A and B are shown apart, each in its own frame.
Chain A
Amino acid sequence: MLQFQTWKSALVILACLAAVVFSAPNLFHSTVQRAETAREALAAGAEDPGLEAAASAWPDWLPSDVIALGLDLQGGAHLLVEVAVEDVHAERLEALWPEARQALRDLRDQVGPFRRLERNDPATLTIRLEDPAGAEIAAEALRELAQPVAGGLLGPGGPDLEVSVEGRDIAVRLTEAAREAIDERTMAQSLEIIRRRIDETGTREPTIQRQGEDRILVQVPGVGSAEEVLSLIGRTAKLTFHLVESATGDADTRTGPNEILVPSAEEPGRFYVLERRALVTGDRLTDAQPGFDPQTGEPVVNFRFDAAGARRFGDVTSRNVGRPFAVVLDEEVITAPTIREAITGGSGQISGSFTVESAQELAILLRAGALPAEITVLEQRTVGPDLGADSIAAGETAIAVAFLAVLVFMFASYGLFGLFANFALILNVCMLMALLSVIGATLTLPGIAGIVLTIGMAVDANVLIFERIREEAKRAKGAARAIETGYERAFSAIVDANVTTFLAATILFSMGSGPVRGFAVTLGLGILTSVFSATMVTRFFVAQWFARARPKTLVV
């Protein structure tokens, strides 16, 4: 019958109350957000009457989850970057070569003379023997160099090297498991370093996420230009100190096996021949701060080594007084001063032609550490704060107008029943907002479109039911019977119709990215709430009304 079971009534009332309570904070979006920020600051020990006032503007016993705004609404930069993990594979093989050479030299009487082949494939280390007879022995010796792959969930993995013999060539490659382990490590380090660098700038709530195999998504709200973000995260920031052999203007200078040719960052066309081996590397830094040179007043970066770095730097500088050494950042010489005296204190200063900003930036990069591999940008989307604000305003107006028009239209079409549906529609939007707030969804501009579309389509289930009740009422059944069969018969159409749209939303969610996903979330949740509000909430209203009014005939 039209009686509603008590538990169903309770469920409807509870759901409606919860919807109102949990969606309410969104009406006071900025107040709630300010209060949250202020509370965090106070908890961190800040003291300020302004903060306390902001914190008490929204009592902490009220729900304070608000819908987060997407970058397209609040403005900010979105960068999708790719980490060159294969460079790290190549480095691992590169590092293996001296070891391999030593191992084969030890077996020279069995293996004979050998040399390394320079091939274009960086994923393979190829060694050519003069005499193929020793190939198996050499391969065996190289296999011994393999280390177990750092264990994942399954304990220590197999060897990290794969050695194969092709005639007199021996090819050494990384195993699949080793490559995966390296990729995992590289990605984890890259994420961590990017996060540190962005945190250093004090940006509020950046999103730094791994995507797929070798990609990282960086979203920084409130930044007007993606280049700003990129200059911070895009640089490898590998810092090394080398002794200088000589300086030259010739880019084709031949270097010895233990030397490297590095261009100058300051003077185009100038090159330095440096010792290949670094005296100290940037991972020995414990701190880096921007500052000013006391003599010249120019911006500089002051740094400090850890104990081991300081000892090593002290040793080398005391033995090489009078020689120049080079500070190399990302394969460019920033500066090459002469060592005047032993630097034993463990701290020093890098001067180059810095501006205050570039010194500040370099200090941040050095503090956060070097990226393990280079990164390249795949995609960039930046929205200015004004456009975001305009989009919000346009979205709000569109929602309000759509809402009002649909309410009027429903009332004009179905009278009292239309009013019931309208109440349900209002609650439906509250439920949608509440769900979005509680699950921490991000509202994007297409998400707003999803809400507007939900408003338009949400009444569909009610329309189906009301039209059906009309039909049933025409067949001269009693009012109660007409309502009941109307609900009953309309149900299968409602389920089928909404399941199909929900399928489309699910596919959108799983295949889409960014804003499209935001749309899929609001559309999908909108379908759930609208089915609930049509089949339960409206029905509850109708049942309550019917119990009181007891009409003989039904006008829908």
Chain B
Amino acid sequence: MAMRRLRLAPEDTSIPFMAGRRWAIRGSLAAAAASLLLVVVLGLNFGIDFRGGIMIEARTPGAADVGQVRGAVSPLGLGDVAVQDFGRETDVLIRVEAQPGDGDAQMAAAAEVERALESEIPGVEIRRVEVVGPKVSGELIWAGALALAAAVGAILVYIWLRFEWQFSLGAVAALVHDVVLTIGVFSLVRLEFNLSIIAALLTIIGYSLNDTVVVFDRVRENLRKYKQKPLDEVLNLSINETLGRTLMTSATTLIALTALYVLGGEVIRGFTFAMIWGVVVGTYSSVFVAAAVLLRLGVTREWSESGDGPGGGAGVQFGGAQV
């Protein structure tokens, strides 16, 4: 087919990625530190999944008047009430802080808010009600943190088995970098941090790792191929060789995510925002964090001597497809 192809990267690039690694690492460290600082100073805008409390999404007949909604709910004396626009001008999201007492107290308060809305704003439609009691919210934080830790742990082991420990540390450094920066951005823009964001973080981990592994796979192959080449050159070569794929996959994923962000509705917007950010950061980190850490740690290359060409050597191998 003699047609012009869309190319995101020119062919045969030889960009000296590793030359800029010091700046990149400094930048990443600064960004990570800033993220942690943000989380410490500003905190995260925890959703009711983690904080307990009541969340009600309502649609008013005309354009929603946030003041009117607050006026309807505040007299109930339920403590902190936050009202915000939600997606369209008719929709509002009302969040009420956790009530003292168990889940039944939360339920009763939610019912009160619903009744107040219905009587103060005729024709209001209650679209969604979520109530999380204090007992469950504590568990959900734990389960979320545990899931993240388990994912990172499992990945550490897997990469270690398939490659070497230096690769494993490089990959995990990149993952932690991505997670920290994503949490930091959530603290900065004050987006709600809830269970679905934990899901997004786990997916980002999976995605970023996907990217890192593709680069590492090529590094392993090139280390065997060019036994005398210095490590930084091997890394540069590997990154350049896989650049076309890296950009293509990021592009298709970002296309799909952008469609979801714009069209998928308000409920999952936080989730897609996290994913988009994660894909961008994850693509960056597989080159500049994972590879740079690998360069810093060095590789032992012992398997390139005992190895029997591509497809052999240390680690568990699945490679070498048979037709």
With A226-B107, A379-B133, A555-B1 known to touch, is A496 a contact of B162 (CB < 8 Å)? Answer: yes
CA gap between A406 and B104 in the complex, in Å: 48
- What 0/1 pattern do residues 409 to 435 of A give for CB contact below 8 A with B? 110111110000000000000000000
Q: Is B19 an interface residue (CB 8 A)?
A: no
CA gap between A134 and B105 in the complex, in Å: 48
Q: Are A456 and B133 touching (Cβ within 8 A)?
A: no
Q: Are B255 and A405 touching (Cβ within 8 A)?
A: yes
CA gap between A515 and B140 in the complex, in Å: 13
Q: What are 9 inter-chain pairs, A to B, with CB distance below 8 A?
A: A401-B259, A405-B259, A409-B251, A413-B8, A446-B271, A456-B256, A457-B249, A492-B320, A493-B214
Add 5 more A-B contacts to A226-B129, A379-B131 (CB < 8 A): A5-B323, A376-B133, A415-B3, A501-B210, A519-B199
Residues of A within 8 A of B260 (CB): 398, 402, 449, 452-453
CA gap between A2 and B248 in the complex, in Å: 26
With A384-B125, A464-B245 known to touch, is A398 a contact of B264 (CB < 8 Å)? Answer: yes
Q: Are A555 and B257 touching (Cβ within 8 A)?
A: no
Q: Is A391 an interface residue (CB 8 A)?
A: yes
Residue among B2, B144, B265 making CB contact with A394, cutoff 8 Å: B265
Q: Is B34 an interface residue (CB 8 A)?
A: no
Q: Are B213 and A496 touching (Cβ within 8 A)?
A: yes
- What 0/1 pattern do residues 143 to 175 of B give for CB contact below 8 A with A? 110110011001100110010000000000000
Q: Are A410 and B252 touching (Cβ within 8 A)?
A: yes
Q: Is B26 an interface residue (CB 8 A)?
A: no
Q: Are B265 and A463 touching (Cβ within 8 A)?
A: no
CA gap between A484 and B1 in the complex, in Å: 20
Q: Is B244 an interface residue (CB 8 A)?
A: yes
Residues of A within 8 A of B263 (CB): 394, 397-398, 401
Residues of A within 8 A of B241 (CB): 471
A-binding segment of B62-70, B75-83, B180-188, B200-208? B200-208
Residue among B104, B131, B209, B318 making CB contact with A491, cutoff 8 Å: B318
Residue among B131, B203, B244, B321 making CB contact with A523, cutoff 8 Å: B203
A interface SS class: helix
Residues of B within 8 A of A401 (CB): 259, 263
Q: Is A511 an interface residue (CB 8 A)?
A: yes
CA gap between A46 and B89 in the complex, in Å: 47
- What 0/1 pattern do residues 254 to 275 of B give for CB contact below 8 A with A? 1111011011110110011001
CB distance from B112 to the nearest CB of A (A): 11
Question: A387: nearest residue on chain B (CB-CB)?
Answer: B127
Within 8 A of B (CB), among A363-379: 376-379
With A377-B103, A492-B317, A492-B319 known to touch, is A391 a contact of B248 (CB < 8 Å)? Answer: no
CA gap between A515 and B267 in the complex, in Å: 12
Within 8 A of B (CB), among A462-520: 463-464, 467, 470-471, 484, 487-489, 491-493, 495-505, 507-508, 511-513, 515-516, 519-520
CB distance from A230 to the nearest CB of B (A): 7
Q: Are B2 and A453 touching (Cβ within 8 A)?
A: no
Residues of B within 8 A of A519 (CB): 196, 199
CB distance from B141 to the nearest CB of A (A): 12
Q: Is A200 an interface residue (CB 8 A)?
A: no
Residues of B within 8 A of A446 (CB): 196, 199, 268, 271
Q: Are A377 and B195 touching (Cβ within 8 A)?
A: no
Q: Is A95 an interface residue (CB 8 A)?
A: no
Residues of B within 8 A of A402 (CB): 255-256, 259-260
Q: Is A455 an interface residue (CB 8 A)?
A: yes
Residue among B129, B210, B249, B323 making CB contact with A382, cutoff 8 Å: B129
Q: Is A60 an interface residue (CB 8 A)?
A: no
With A378-B135, A491-B318, A511-B147 known to touch, is A503 a contact of B158 (CB < 8 Å)? Answer: yes
Residues of B within 8 A of A380 (CB): 103, 106-107, 110, 129-132
Residue among B195, B255, B265, B321 making CB contact with A395, cutoff 8 Å: B265
Nearest 4 pairs between A and B by C-beta?
A: A456-B256, A492-B319, A504-B206, A501-B206
CA gap between A141 and B304 in the complex, in Å: 77
CB distance from A251 to the nearest CB of B (A): 22
- What 0/1 pattern do residues 265 to 299 of B give for CB contact below 8 A with A? 10110011001000000000000000000000000
With A452-B259, A456-B254 known to touch, is A500 a contact of B130 (CB < 8 Å)? Answer: no
Residue among A383, A398, A414, A507 making CB contact with B202, cutoff 8 Å: A507
- What 0/1 pattern do residues 300 to 317 of B give for CB contact below 8 A with A? 000000000011000001
CB distance from A286 to the nearest CB of B (A): 32
Q: Are A504 and B125 touching (Cβ within 8 A)?
A: no
CB distance from B236 to the nearest CB of A (A): 16
Q: Are A516 and B131 touching (Cβ within 8 A)?
A: no
Q: Is A439 an interface residue (CB 8 A)?
A: no
CA gap between A508 and B150 in the complex, in Å: 10
Q: Is B233 an interface residue (CB 8 A)?
A: no
Q: Are B319 and A415 touching (Cβ within 8 A)?
A: no
CA gap between A126 and B177 in the complex, in Å: 58
Q: Is A261 an interface residue (CB 8 A)?
A: no
Q: Is A390 an interface residue (CB 8 A)?
A: yes
Q: Are A2 and B323 touching (Cβ within 8 A)?
A: yes
Q: Is A125 an interface residue (CB 8 A)?
A: no
Q: Are A383 and B133 touching (Cβ within 8 A)?
A: no
Residues of A within 8 A of B251 (CB): 409
Q: Are B245 and A377 touching (Cβ within 8 A)?
A: no
Q: Is B217 an interface residue (CB 8 A)?
A: yes
Q: Is A1 an interface residue (CB 8 A)?
A: yes
- What 0/1 pattern do residues 54 to 80 of A give for CB contact below 8 A with B? 000000000000000000100000001
Within 8 A of A (CB), among B47-62: 57, 59
Residues of B within 8 A of A108 (CB): none
Within 8 A of B (CB), among A198-257: 224-227, 230
Q: Is A9 an interface residue (CB 8 A)?
A: no
Q: Is A319 an interface residue (CB 8 A)?
A: no
Q: Is B85 an interface residue (CB 8 A)?
A: no
Question: B248: nearest residue on chain A (CB-CB)?
Answer: A463
Q: Is A138 an interface residue (CB 8 A)?
A: no
Q: Is A94 an interface residue (CB 8 A)?
A: no
Q: Are A497 and B213 touching (Cβ within 8 A)?
A: yes
Residues of A within 8 A of B57 (CB): 387
CB distance from B49 to the nearest CB of A (A): 9
CA gap between A257 and B156 in the complex, in Å: 66
Q: Are B248 and A491 touching (Cβ within 8 A)?
A: no
CA gap between A508 and B162 in the complex, in Å: 22
CA gap between A402 and B135 in the complex, in Å: 39
Residues of A within 8 A of B311 (CB): 492
Q: Are A452 and B126 touching (Cβ within 8 A)?
A: no
- What 0/1 pattern do residues 528 to 546 of A give for CB contact below 8 A with B? 0000000100000000000
Residues of B within 8 A of A459 (CB): 248-249, 252
CA gap between A413 and B245 in the complex, in Å: 11
